[in-house]
Amino acid sequence: MNLLSNKEKSLSSEFIKNGYIIKKINDIKNLNKIRDIFENFLLKKIKINISKKNSIFDEFHNYIDQNKLNNFRLELINYINSNNNFRSYYYSIGKYYLDILVGNELVMQNNINLSIQLPNDSDSLLPLHSDVWSGDSPYEIVVWLPLVDCYKTKSMYILNPKYYNSLINKIRTNKIQDSEKLFKFIEKKVKWLNVKYGEVLIFNQSLPHGNRVNKEKSTRWSMNCRFKSIFSPYGDKKFGEFFSPITLRPMSEIGMNYELPNIEKDEKN
């Protein structure tokens, strides 16, 4: 018996069929707070006319040398994750959909990741992969949040679930290990995702996905963070090491801390 509401069933079916959902963000205030945190950092680090700050993300390639990008990105990742409110803002954006797709007792990745992909930058690529192939749990889900409009090669691609088995068979029968050859095999079957600023992408990280060289004229900015049910099986990324609980309910906390007393039986009985 499935007691989900019709809305929950519809969203679940869409996610299972496509391997992802792209939805308009209801909590736009927290998205703007996230963007403000980034803007404050950028305006301290680079010289830019304040009146042009609305385009600072799309035009970021005009303000940084490509060989300095990774160090800058790592510094920025540390900055956002040191903000006490950042994880709360991020979770609130995906909460409604996470409750339906994963559950309401969740663990969240300890550190939120950031991708910055300059136009024609071949050093910031994420080849075709499935996170589960490298040890992640198939129970994890990814909340992918852009700070700019992401489209075509400025975005990411994902393989439709209906083509997954044919890829696995190709790997097994031909023993292909090269990610580029695997991509060529499914290139016409992947879906490039169009995710605008103000929308959130939530996808099944078990499905092969990745990006290519950004051939568009502006810079891509996107964050990603993994969530899973606290009680579902873990992969190499463990509870307490990679994930921390964020919505543990009272009875689960009570149950997890309960110790059965050692009651000796009455010998007379």
For residue range 123-157, what is the model confidence (pLDDT) as tens digits? 888 899 999 999 999 999 999 999 999 999 999 99
3-state secondary structure of 220: strand
Flag the least confident range among 85-89, 113-117, 177-181.
177-181
pLDDT digits (tens, 9 = 90+) for 221-266: 999 999 999 999 999 999 999 999 999 999 999 999 999 998 765 5
Kindly state the tokens that stand for 191.
Answer: 């879906």
Query: Among 32-46, 147-161, 176-190, whose mean pLDDT is lowest?
Result: 176-190
CA neighbor of 108 nearest in space, from 127, 88, 128, 123: 88
Q: Mean pLDDT across the chain, nearest whole number?
A: 92
DSSP state of 14: H
pTM of this structure: 0.93
Q: Which two tokens stand for residue 53?
A: 């700050």
pLDDT at site 50: 53
- pLDDT surpassing 70 at residue 190: yes
Six-digit token pair at 112? 């939120």
Tell which CATH architecture fits domain 8-232. Sandwich (2.60)
Can you tell me the distance from the alpha carbon of 237 to that of 225, in angstroms, rounded to the nearest whole number? 13
Average of per-residue pLDDT across 40-67: 82
What residue spans of 82-178 are helical by DSSP H?
A: 86-101, 164-174
Share of the chain above pLDDT 70, in %: 94
Structure-token match 């023993």, residue found: 175
Query: Virtual CA dihedral for 110, 155, 184, 177, nearest 10 degrees?
Result: -10
Q: Rounded mean pLDDT of 164-170?
A: 87
